[in-house]
Amino acid sequence: VKKKIDLHTHSSASDGLLSPSELVDHAVANGVSALALTDHDTVDGLDEALEHAGRLGLEFIPGVEFSVEYPRGSFHLVGLHVDHAHEELLEALRELKKFRDSRAERIILDLKSCGVDIPLDDVLSEAGGAPIGKPHFARVMVRFGFAANVEEVFLNYLVDGKPGDVKKEKIELSRAIGLIRKAGGIPVLAHPVSLEFASFRELEDMIPGMIEMGLEGIEAYACMHTPEQVDAILDIGRRHGLLVTGGSDFHGDGKVEIGSYGDGRKFPAELLDELRTYRMKSAARRI
Q: What residues line the site for Zn ion (CB under 5 A)?
A: 65, 249
Q: Which stretch binds ligand AMP (CB under 6 A): 17-25, 116-124, 132-140, 175-183?
A: 132-140
Chain CA centroid to CA 160, Å? 20
81, 279 Cβ separation under 8 angstroms: yes
CB under 5 to 8 A by kind: which of ligand AMP, Fe ion, Zn ion, none does 134 bind?
ligand AMP
**For residues 245 and 234, what is the distance between their CA atoms, to the nearest angstrom?**
9
40, 131 Cβ separation under 8 angstroms: yes
Count Cβ neighbours within 10 Å for each residue of 106-134 and write b for 16 or more, e otherwise. Answer: ebbebbeeeebebeeebbbebbeebbbbb
7, 33 Cβ separation under 8 angstroms: no
The residue number whose beta carbon is nearest to Zn ion equals: 249
Q: What angle do CA 218, 221, 227 make, to 5 degrees?
A: 125
Q: How far is the CB of 225 from Zn ion (least distance, A)?
A: 14
135 binds ligand AMP (CB under 6 A): yes
76 binds Fe ion (CB under 5 A): yes
53: number of Cβ within 10 Å: 24
Nearer to ligand AMP by C-beta: 60 or 157? 157
Nearer to Fe ion by C-beta: 3 or 253? 253
Nearer to Zn ion by C-beta: 146 or 267? 267
CB under 5 to 8 A by kind: which of ligand AMP, Zn ion, Fe ion, none does 248 bind?
none
134 binds Fe ion (CB under 5 A): no
Q: Which stretch binds ligand AMP (CB under 6 A): 23-31, 79-87, 91-99, 127-135?
A: 127-135
99 binds ligand AMP (CB under 6 A): no
Q: Which class for 239: exposed (0-12), middle (13-18), buried (19 or more C-beta within 10 A)?
A: exposed
Q: How far is the CB of 223 from ligand AMP (least distance, A)?
A: 12
Write the DSSP assignment of 95-113 as a string of letters.
HHHHHHHHHHHHHHHHHHH
Identified binder of ligand AMP from the candidate list 21, 22, 59, 154, rule CB under 6 A: 154
The answer for residues whose C-beta is within 8 angstroms of residue 198's C-beta and 6 or more apart is none
15 binds ligand AMP (CB under 6 A): yes
The residue number whose beta carbon is nearest to Fe ion equals: 76
CB under 5 to 8 A by kind: which of Zn ion, Fe ion, ligand AMP, none does 67 bind?
ligand AMP
CB under 5 to 8 A by kind: which of Fe ion, Zn ion, ligand AMP, none does 164 bind?
none
Nearer to Fe ion by C-beta: 26 or 76? 76
Pick the closest to residue 221 from 260, 188, 180, 187 (CA basis): 260
246 binds ligand AMP (CB under 6 A): no
Write the DSSP assignment of 206-258 as a string of letters.
HHHHHHHHT--EEEEEETTS-HHHHHHHHHHHHHTTPEEEEE--B-SSSSS-T
Q: Which residues bind ligand AMP (CB under 6 A)?
A: 15, 40, 67, 133-135, 154, 159, 251
Q: Which residues bind Fe ion (CB under 5 A)?
A: 15, 76, 190
